[in-house]
Amino acid sequence: MSEVKPLQFKLSHSDGFTEWLAKEGLTLALSSHQANALISIGTDEKGNLSINTMGVERCTGLSLSGSSLTIGSFSEVICYEKMPRPVSDEPNAINREVYIPQTTLHTGVFDLHELAREDSGRLIGVNTLFNCIAVLDEEYSFSALWTPPFLKGPVAGDRCHLNGIALENGKTRWCSMVGVSNEVEGWRELRRNGGSIWDIKNNEMIAKGLSMPHSPRFWKNQLLVLNAGTGEFGSISLETGAFESIAWYPGFLRGMYVQNDLAFIGLSLPRDGKTYEGLPIQERCEKAGQNPMCGIVICDLKTGKTVHWLQFKSNVTEIFDLVVMQESPIPKMISPRSEDRYKYYSIGPRKTL
């Protein structure tokens, strides 16, 4: 992983957003592969908005499991552990808790998308370049767990643009892809309405006709999904495969975290070029008279209404993934590429001979 430049940006947010974050005791962690950064947004000890950025080369999927935060990047996966009382030689440390990098998996470059940690502790990643759902560990760059039945095993070359995963009862169950294709880059011709959701356990397609679906999540017997190419957030019927819209937002939807009947959703600006050209989201924004935005929206799943929103005004144009940490004040993130890595230590319990 190469060193990345510090990130500066401007943002705006809904009225009461800061007070709400402080009251709920939350910190939002957003990844942006475009900005090469992990961006943490929370409050300080006085309840003021606090933003920390950590350079991560092509920062992609995020997974939060207990005290463990796993971060995907260009060619590595970095596993962090939260240390409530870290040992530090840094005087006057102001952050209550610290996330320290403990393990780095050198995966190589395979266009890693989403990450998920199963209840067993097994780390799962979406390997987009090799068209498979993969197990990531210390032994191999990756081991294929599931490949679409229309492909003969994991094969190099992005053919279907596999991108998202959802767990059920702590095990990998569903995934999203942009198009059913066995030709390299064949998914690009299917972006508008060729997207689908697959049941990994039963090895079958359960929903089709979507536009670049991303970030499926299972919550209270609902399979939620971002129909990114239309800007719609909704759910998939597990009986009929029909997509039911919950809300529409002016942006390319990617990255979602669900807790307490709230969906935290990432929005990106459509990129110039062939990936986003001609998608329904462009037509929808023009018809609504709204410009696309980059940021996050927080949707109440009971009502479909927006609780709060945050918008980046400069330098950050794409959100890849996000997680919500029950942390206040905002925790300190130790970059493995910063001098801080020499100042903090995690000391385990005493071992026996």
Assess if residue 2 is contained within a domain: no
Question: What pLDDT, on a 0 to 100 scale, did the predictor assign at position 3?
Answer: 52
Instruction: Tell me, yes or no, if the pTM score tops 0.85.
Output: yes
Give the whole-angstrom CA distance, residue 124 versus residue 116.
5
Give the whole-angstrom CA distance, residue 296 versus residue 53.
16
Assess if residue 6 is contained within a domain: no
Confidence label for 47 from pLDDT (cuts 50, 70 and 90): very high
Question: What pLDDT, on a 0 to 100 scale, did the predictor assign at position 344?
Answer: 81
Assess if residue 353 is contained within a domain: no
Assess if residue 137 is contained within a domain: yes
Residues whose CB is less than 8 angstroms from the CB of residue 248 and which lie 6 or more positions away in sequence, other chains included:
230, 231, 232, 233, 284
The model's pLDDT over 7-37, given as tens digits with 9 standing for 90+, comes to 788 899 999 999 999 999 999 999 999 999 9
Assess if residue 338 is contained within a domain: yes
Q: The domain that contains 72 carries what CATH number?
A: 2.120.10.30
Assess if residue 341 is contained within a domain: yes
Assess if residue 88 is contained within a domain: yes
Average the pLDDT over each of 108-112, 149-153, 183-187, 272-276 and give the range with the smallest value: 272-276
Assess if residue 26 is contained within a domain: yes
Q: Does residue 232 contact residue 248 with C-beta atoms inside 8 Å?
A: yes
Domain interval for residue 47: 11-345
Give the whole-angstrom CA distance, residue 125 versus residue 353.
37
**How many residues appear in the chain?**
353
How many domains is the chain partitioned into structurally?
Answer: 1
Does pLDDT of 271 surpass 80? no
